[in-house]
Amino acid sequence: MTITPKTIQIFLPSGEPHGIRIAEITTRIVQVIEVPRSLLNSFLGMEQSSQVGVYFLIGEDTEDGDRLVYVGQTGDLRARLTAHNQKKDFWERALVLISKTNSLTQTHALFLEWHSLQQIRIAGRFADENGNSGSRPHTPAPLEADCLEVFETSNILITSLGYPLFEAVIKARQTEDNDDDCFYLSDKNQTIKAKGVYTSEGFVVLADSLAVLETAKSISDSYKQSRQRLVASGIIKPNGEGQLHFDKDYLFGSPSGAAAAVLGRSANGWTEWKDAKGRTLNQMKRVNVGIEE
């Protein structure tokens, strides 16, 4: 799929940047409305709340480090969100997907709910609160095409608002050892080897990377606690050979956090991570930026 430039408009009905936000691509019919739970009553007074819609209830991080989401659809947003406000405790914000032309039908909404949940589970960034996702709803081919176009737009808007529900932490895994996008890390005894990619969001350690089993006494408390959460959540697991194994790609906020998780000690990730030619992440992504070879 070709990626093209886009202009997104975000409207603040109250003028407050942390209040209700309405995002849209002005040439398309889809809107996504971000509603803080504390302002739900304000949204319920807006005309958009009377439409058929798909909604995403977003919760805070769990002890395992996952963010929570619940996906639903309804022909009566006011009644459904009011019920969720009374009965569901975990969520802090709602993202509501509607049509500016009020043209979404219940059939659209059912397919979008199902498809969104599948994509959330594939991406693996958020833990969903839905339980069984049910079977794929029957949707005529022309209507399904409309739904997928709506989903594409909603993905752009929801991600732009800061909720990458459908985006994998790394879109295209790089697996060749000589690939310039990949960086590697080993301990001094060469008993473990980890592989990662530096992205616009942080540093991703790729699945099947290995980490040391024990932490050093000198590791900082924050890195130690972060590593303990990864083990407790099953993201990294003992492999029975005296090492820890990354079961999936995992995004760290910084290269140093990623290096500490792998090495079990405090580390400068900018100098520890190196490409296949031995050049450090610092050389490749900071020192040499803007310098032509």
Average pLDDT per 10 consecutive residues for the chain, totaling 293 residues: 84 96 95 97 95 95 73 96 95 97 94 96 90 85 95 97 91 52 90 93 94 92 90 89 93 94 94 94 79 49
242: left (phi over 0), alpha (psi -120 to 50) or beta: left
Give residue 178's pLDDT: 45
* pLDDT reported for residue 51: 94
Look at residue 177 in the predicted model and tell me its pLDDT: 45
Phi, then psi, of 81 in degrees rounded to 5: -70, -30
d(CA 25, CA 20): 17
Give the chain's length.
Answer: 293
* Single pTM value for the model: 0.81
E strands in the chain: 9-11, 21-24, 30-36, 53-61, 67-74, 91-99, 126-128, 182-186, 193-198, 203-205, 210-212, 236-238, 243-246, 250-252
Look up residue 194 and give its two tokens: 């980890």
152 membership: H or E segment, kind and range: helix 141-160
Q: Which residues contact 26 (CB under 8 A, 6 or more apart)?
A: 7, 9
Q: What is the pLDDT of residue 203?
A: 95
Which of 11, 29, 36 has its CA nearest to residue 98? 29
Cα 68 to Cα 23, 94, 189, 206, distances in angstroms: 22, 12, 39, 22
> Which residue intervals of 33-105 are DSSP H helices?
40-44, 77-87
